[in-house]
């Protein structure tokens, strides 16, 4: 059983501070849905409204088409995995896992059996009688997942549950969580500020900033066709250019900057009058060796090259003194230019996105 979730114009105020501002989104049953955003963007507040710890100031939260207003967290078909896991330290592992069943009046033998079964599901057999403090971080993580699954929720809420783990374990647990979600087919709502996590695990991602959803889409679309400057800056790296649109025709146009005029693709809702900037991802930057007559070319001086193995990051400065970066695949036959050399960088018009530059951009840059 898995439930759909719908937020209808949900707003949450804490005193004068508006944490969530008129958010509407529909999450499908069985979907792995992530809210991605910087800290303070309101994503945790959304999770707490869905779980029932707080009631929205305005708007509706629906779980499986049922309005949840006035229904406490203990009466909702949700289970939450907390950032610090919040395992009960004075209960053994199996008591922790079966706590939700104990609440429902299930007898001890059945509870114990169910706990063992769930420990197998999360691949952690044989620790039932230990205390959480006797387990490692990754093991505790699995116990928290098992405890949430024990109540057979229609909806799992995960509040940055992997942030306390080290990198290796985090990557392993990503795949694990995804596999458990597919196996149980429960709707997952996942909160994170880690774009890698959100992109790798989710069916769909909602990027949030300042209490508002900036874009809801599949991970590929979030990365490749960001809705605005905030999404482009928050998810992945970018070379940003300030300037203005000089001509616009059918989704394309000319963008004039102090280092030249470029042929560009227009993002969502961009018109000639809108405040916007040009975004080019480092991996879409090439070096003009063969095609000297490229439409978009900028002369630069290479400052530094950092070799990362499968790719290299080339750091450069354009003639206006701004830093530019390019990511090139490792190719021994075609090495990147050496530091100190002057060269020309190019990018294709369909990879040069002019995006709406709202306040959110300034916010992302300050972070």
Partner 1 sequence: MTDLIQRYGRGLSWLSIGLTAFWLLALVILPYLGLFEQSFRPYLPVDEIGGPNDHYTLHNYMALFSNPQDITLCLPGKDTIPGSPIYLPDLVVNWPIHLYIFILTIVYSSVVTLIVLMLCYPIAYCMAKVMDPRSLPTFFLLLVIPLWVSELMRSFSWYIILSLNGPLSTLLMDLGILSAPVRWTWGLCGYSGIMVGLIYTYVLFMLFPVYNAMTSLDSNQIEAAEDLGAGWIRKHWRVIIPHCKPGIASGSVTVFMLAASSLLVPSLLASPKSRWFTEVIQQWMFESHDWNSGAAYAFLLLVVCTIFVTVMMKLFKVGLSDIAK
Binding stretches for partner 1 (CB under 8 A): 51, 53, 72-75, 78-80, 82-84, 86-88, 90-91, 99-100, 102-104, 147, 150-151
- Among 103, 49, 56, smallest CA distance to 78 is for 49
CB 336 within 8 A of CB 327: no
State the nearest-atom distance from the C-beta of 105 to partner 1, in Å: 10
Nearer to partner 1, 39 or 74 (CB): 74
User: Rounded to an integer, what distance in angstroms lies between the CA atom of residue 325 and that of residue 109?
Assistant: 61
Helix (H) or strand (E) holding 33: strand 32-36
User: Rounded to an integer, what distance in angstroms lies between the CA atom of residue 100 and that of residue 108?
Assistant: 12
User: Rounded to an integer, what distance in angstroms lies between the CA atom of residue 344 and that of residue 228?
Assistant: 28
State the nearest-atom distance from the C-beta of 197 to partner 1, in Å: 21
3-state secondary structure of 116: helix
State the nearest-atom distance from the C-beta of 296 to partner 1, in Å: 51
202: its two tokens: 């989710």
Nearer to partner 1, 52 or 253 (CB): 52
Partners of 78 in beta bridges = 155
DSSP letter for each residue of 130-141? S-GGGS-HHHHH
Partners of 85 in beta bridges = 82
State the nearest-atom distance from the C-beta of 161 to partner 1, in Å: 12
Nearer to partner 1, 72 or 251 (CB): 72
CA 242 remoteness from chain centre: 26
State the nearest-atom distance from the C-beta of 134 to partner 1, in Å: 18
3-state secondary structure of 177: helix
| Alpha-carbon dihedral sign for residues 258, 264, 270, 276 | negative
- Among 165, 191, 188, smallest CA distance to 178 is for 188
Nearer to partner 1, 53 or 307 (CB): 53
State the nearest-atom distance from the C-beta of 20 to partner 1, in Å: 19
User: Rounded to an integer, what distance in angstroms lies between the CA atom of residue 236 and that of residue 329?
Assistant: 17
State the nearest-atom distance from the C-beta of 106 to partner 1, in Å: 11
Nearer to partner 1, 133 or 249 (CB): 133
State the nearest-atom distance from the C-beta of 10 to partner 1, in Å: 19
- Among 169, 171, 176, smallest CA distance to 121 is for 176
Nearer to partner 1, 51 or 195 (CB): 51
- Backbone dihedral region for residue 126 (phi beyond 0: left; psi -120 to 50: alpha; all else: beta): left
Nearer to partner 1, 104 or 272 (CB): 104
Nearer to partner 1, 96 or 296 (CB): 96
């Amino acid at each position: 059983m898995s439930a759909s979730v719908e937020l209808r114009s949900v707003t949450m105020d804490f005193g004068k501070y508006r944490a969530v501002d008129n958010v509407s989104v529909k999450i499908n049953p069985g979907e792995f849905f992530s809210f991605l955003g910087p800290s303070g963007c309101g994503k945790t507040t959304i999770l707490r409204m869905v779980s029932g710890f707080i009631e929205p100031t305005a708007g509706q939260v629906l779980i499986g088409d049922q309005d949840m207003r006035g229904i406490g967290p203990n009466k909702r078909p949700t289970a939450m995995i907390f950032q610090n896991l919040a395992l009960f330290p004075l209960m053994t592992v199996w008591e922790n896992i079966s706590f939700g069943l104990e609440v429902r009046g299930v007898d001890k033998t059945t509870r114990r059996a169910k706990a063992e079964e769930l420990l197998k599901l999360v691949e952690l057999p044989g620790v039932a009688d230990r205390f959480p403090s006797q387990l490692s971080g990754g093991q505790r993580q699995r116990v928290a997942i098992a405890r949430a699954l024990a109540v057979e929720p229609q909806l799992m809420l995960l509040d940055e549950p992997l942030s306390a783990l080290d990198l290796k374990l985090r990557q392993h647990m990503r795949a694990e969580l995804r596999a458990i979600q597919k196996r149980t087919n429960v709707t997952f709502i996942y909160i994170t500020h880690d774009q890698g996590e959100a992109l790798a695990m989710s069916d769909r991602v909602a990027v949030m900033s300042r209490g508002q959803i900036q874009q809801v889409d599949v991970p590929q679309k979030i990365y490749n066709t960001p809705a605005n400057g905030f999404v482009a800056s928050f998810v992945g790296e970018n070379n940003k250019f300030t300037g203005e649109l000089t001509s616009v025709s059918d989704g394309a146009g000319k963008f004039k900057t102090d280092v030249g005029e470029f042929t560009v693709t227009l993002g969502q809702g961009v018109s000639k009058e809108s405040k916007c900037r040009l975004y080019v991802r480092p991996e879409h930057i090439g070096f003009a060796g063969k095609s000297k007559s490229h439409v978009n070319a900028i002369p630069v001086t290479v400052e530094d090259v950092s070799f990362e193995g499968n790719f290299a990051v080339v750091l450069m400065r354009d003639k206006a003194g701004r830093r530019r970066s390019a990511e090139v695949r490792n190719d021994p036959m075609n090495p990147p230019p050496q530091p100190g050399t002057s060269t020309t960088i190019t990018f294709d018009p369909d990879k040069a996105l002019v995006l709406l530059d709202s306040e959110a951009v300034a916010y992302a840059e300050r972070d």
